Amino acid sequence: MSMGAVRLVVGWGAMMLGVLGLFGCVGERPRLGVHDGRFEPCPASPNCVSSQAADDRHRIAPLPVDGEPEQAFWRLRQIVLARPDATLVEERPGYLRVELHTRLFVDDAEFVLDSVDRVIQLRSASRLGYSDMGTNRRRIEEIRTAFKQKTSE
């Protein structure tokens, strides 16, 4: 085989591995949602945060609601959907589900309005892998900061 043919085969092989790796990191869209006011529990892996988690490893504070709950949820919706990494998956009154994309991975985030406790409950989890190096927690804290800023305007 000539050097040109070898380069062509190696190039195609590398490209195919890259394409397979990229699509392999997306994973299937999980079955999520809120059931009886509760999110699905986080898995044992550290790549999930939830305001409804009982353990400190996964627990993150919900977003406090000041003022009218529906308006607060609308502000949150605007903040989340303005993110360049966010894609809307599902929306209904008081519930928002988005995919949040990194360079290679897709994470799932959910937000639900709890008007009784005057908070927005939230959950964010990686679809694949074990550790996310704190990405889900960091991203939710970015959303929290933007939400606080928009609330005080």
pLDDT at 9: 52
The string of pLDDT tens digits covering residues 45-54 is 999 999 999 9
Q: Residues in the chain, how many?
A: 153
Query: Between 72 and 33, where is the model more confident?
Result: 72
Residue 123 region by backbone torsions, left for phi larger than 0, else alpha for psi between -120 and 50, else beta? beta
The string of pLDDT tens digits covering residues 75-103 is 999 999 999 999 999 999 999 999 999 88
The region of weakest confidence among 16-25, 32-41, 60-69, 136-145 is 16-25
Handedness of CA 89, 83, 132, 73 (dihedral sign): negative
Percentage of the chain lying above the pLDDT 70 cut: 80
pLDDT at 150: 82
The token pair that represents 123 in the structure block: 């959950």
